[in-house]
Structure 1
Amino acid sequence: MDLVEYFAAIDENEINRLVKDKQEENIHIEFKTVVHPTIPKEDKEADKRNYSKCLSGFANSSGGLVIWGIHAEKDSDKIDCAKKTSPIRELSLFLNKLNTLEGQATTPKIKGVKHKKIDIGNDTGFVVTFIPESETGPHMANFADKYYYKRNGDSFFRAEHYDIVDMFSRKSKPKLDLKIGKIDSHTWSGDKLLRYEILFSIINNGNGIAKHPYVALKLSKGYTQSTFGVNGNGQTGLKRISNNQSFDINYSGGQDIVIFPNSSIDVDKISGIFQDQKGPTDLIVDYIIYAEGMETKKGRKKISREKLMNS
């Protein structure tokens, strides 16, 4: 389960499990208590400072979750672990505070930050903040002495000069994903069969040029690689190869194939043939995708039977 999936799944039961199991903080998880709304004068900036540091540190590293409302203490190995819950009062007000501070807490602002409220009654509970790895950093923590932070193990550290140089270099990385496009359907063999042809593409949502792109697909039962290619004559946007036997079809781009930022390339079509009376099944595509300068991305796309039938 990746960070996005865990963020979506976390609930009150999971909060209690974290405490029961004495979950250790790690490179992706940070526990924080909240001094809002009853704040001693000397600590009135604590939440603001913590939020700013967490945003900077996680975004400048590989992303993470801040779980607000859990008290952490060091264990025998001197690693912070969940000790007890400390539910937040005036939960909605605290969530609003986080949303208000988000654009002010770092320079530049981090895209894709999400908050999730876990209300256990009477506007009391927990907030989980998802902070993605950023491609527009490095990000300075405006409310934490205007330093750049990074995540290392279970702690945030001020970034050294060489760290900041490395963070700037990440701004020019490609970020590829699979895109399901146009769906064509027609009957044949005396109108007894339905053929579906589904175009798929690679899109570059990053800030760097994608060189040597590679994609491999595993298709659900009933679907296969089209024999017609992208334009009906068998041609494909990337070369068909067979180097990964764990997947049904593999494609690779040579030195002459690049995908520029905010652009895409049509790769091929997926074909499915079904009896007209029964209609198609859901199309599920498990895939991996890669290019020079980016980590391998794994994902799944699904097109429902209803969407195919209405195409």
Structure 2
Amino acid sequence: MWDLNKVNSYIENEIEENSSLEYKGGKSLDLSIDKNKSELCKDISAFANSNGGIIIYGISEFNLKEKAHLPEKLSPVDGRIVTKERIEQILQTNIKPKIKDIKINPIRINEANLETIYIIEIPRSFTAHQSLDKKYYRRYNFESVPMEDYEIRDTMNRNVSAKLNQPIKKESIIFNKLKREINLPIEILNSSEAIAREIFSFITLKLKNASLTKNAENFIRLPQAEENEIRFQATNDNIKIYPNTQLKCGEFSFEIINQPAQICLKHIIMGNNIEKTFFHIHLDINKDEIEFTDLTY
């Protein structure tokens, strides 16, 4: 819940602006100036096109270089002239498509509404929003900057499901019979037309008469869960895989100690806009021949 004490705490604690927080002096809400209306739409749409955030209209920043982006003092607007309804009307009329679930919180410094601070909470949207000037913007550090074409497409596809596959085939497995080594690649294929977002995964290995000699580079080993199980977790949980693109995550290397040997791999992949995906393969090695079995269902 927003109130004057909470607003003042941002100043007292010197909370710095960032990609999801911005301060604006009261003069920037003089909506009789066309430039200010355009800036309002630009900044609000940029937050929605990024990860959402908060703009506090009514706090000015320091002009000193060493205190850049820090809040200095209250700088309210006249709430009788700049009303919540007026702000809503400008945003709803000039940002295309309309941004849902924006919250405009007026904080009255006095009951006559002479001095008002507006806190606008902008949600992360699932499409791209065009501003008043017919351009698309996103947040970058402390600014609202124009979006590239691929960024607009990316944002528009946020709520579209992607489909992932793990394209391990027998022919992609390298078996050095002289060194008795097997190299098993770990790859993820996005076979859909949507961008797969925030992908991360877990791998479980079970080995018989084989030992692991090299981990896939983008996975870290986890503490042992069950006997004969080796577990790994992806080190990066913010991976994007673009449509019809195959991502190589590295490879595991194994030494065959004795035959017959067996390598079982289970790979669970999760992400922001994909269903939990499960892959399961077996490699059975006997007389220096590999029998490849895909148990994925």
Relative to the length of structure 2, the TM-score reads: 0.51
Residue number in structure 1 paired with 2:272 = 293
Q: Which runs of 4+ in 1 moved over 6 A?
A: 36-39
The answer on 1:58 being equivalent to 2:47 is: yes
Contact 1:75 1:81 in 2 (8 A): no
* Structure 1 position 62, deviation (Å): 0.3
- Please point out which of 154, 164, 175 is paired with 1:166: 154
- Please point out which of 23, 41, 45 is paired with 1:31: 23
- Alpha-carbon distance change, 173 to 23 in structure 1, aligned in 2, over 3 angstroms: farther
Corresponding letter in the other structure for 1:141: S
Superposition RMSD in Å:
3.4
Give the share of equivalent positions with the same residue, in percent: 27
- Alpha-carbon distance change, 10 to 75 in structure 1, aligned in 2, over 3 angstroms: farther
Residue number in structure 2 paired with 1:231 = none
- Please point out which of 75, 100, 104 is paired with 1:115: 104
SS class of match (1:58): helix
Contact 2:60 2:73 in 1 (8 A): yes
- Please point out which of 157, 170, 181 is paired with 2:145: 157
Contact 2:51 2:123 in 1 (8 A): yes
How far apart are the structure 1 equivalents of 2:144 and 2:85? 25
Corresponding letter in the other structure for 2:131: A
Contact 1:71 1:84 in 2 (8 A): yes
The answer on 1:125 being equivalent to 2:113 is: no
Deviation digits for residues 68-125 of structure 1 (CA, Å, limit 9, x no counterpart): 1111235545742212111111357421211111211211111111111111112022
- Please point out which of 8, 18, 35 is paired with 1:16: 8
Contact 2:160 2:273 in 1 (8 A): no
Residue number in structure 1 paired with 2:177 = none
* Structure 1 position 35, deviation (Å): 2.9
SS class of match (1:141): coil
Contact 1:91 1:119 in 2 (8 A): no
- Alpha-carbon distance change, 71 to 151 in structure 1, aligned in 2, over 3 angstroms: same
* Structure 1 position 10, deviation (Å): 2.6
- Please point out which of 58, 73, 76 is paired with 1:87: 76
Contact 1:115 1:130 in 2 (8 A): yes
- Alpha-carbon distance change, 34 to 132 in structure 1, aligned in 2, over 3 angstroms: same
- Alpha-carbon distance change, 60 to 109 in structure 1, aligned in 2, over 3 angstroms: same
- Alpha-carbon distance change, 92 to 173 in structure 1, aligned in 2, over 3 angstroms: farther
- Alpha-carbon distance change, 99 to 14 in structure 1, aligned in 2, over 3 angstroms: same
- Alpha-carbon distance change, 14 to 68 in structure 1, aligned in 2, over 3 angstroms: same
* Structure 1 position 34, deviation (Å): 2.9
How far apart are the structure 1 equivalents of 2:49 and 2:82? 28
Contact 1:23 1:81 in 2 (8 A): yes
How far apart are the structure 2 equivalents of 1:11 and 1:72? 20
Corresponding letter in the other structure for 2:107: I
- Please point out which of 66, 76, 86 is paired with 1:97: 86
Contact 2:61 2:73 in 1 (8 A): yes
How far apart are the structure 2 equivalents of 1:292 and 1:149? 25
* Structure 1 position 55, deviation (Å): 1.7
- Please point out which of 118, 134, 146 is paired with 2:125: 134
Residue number in structure 2 paired with 1:106 = 95
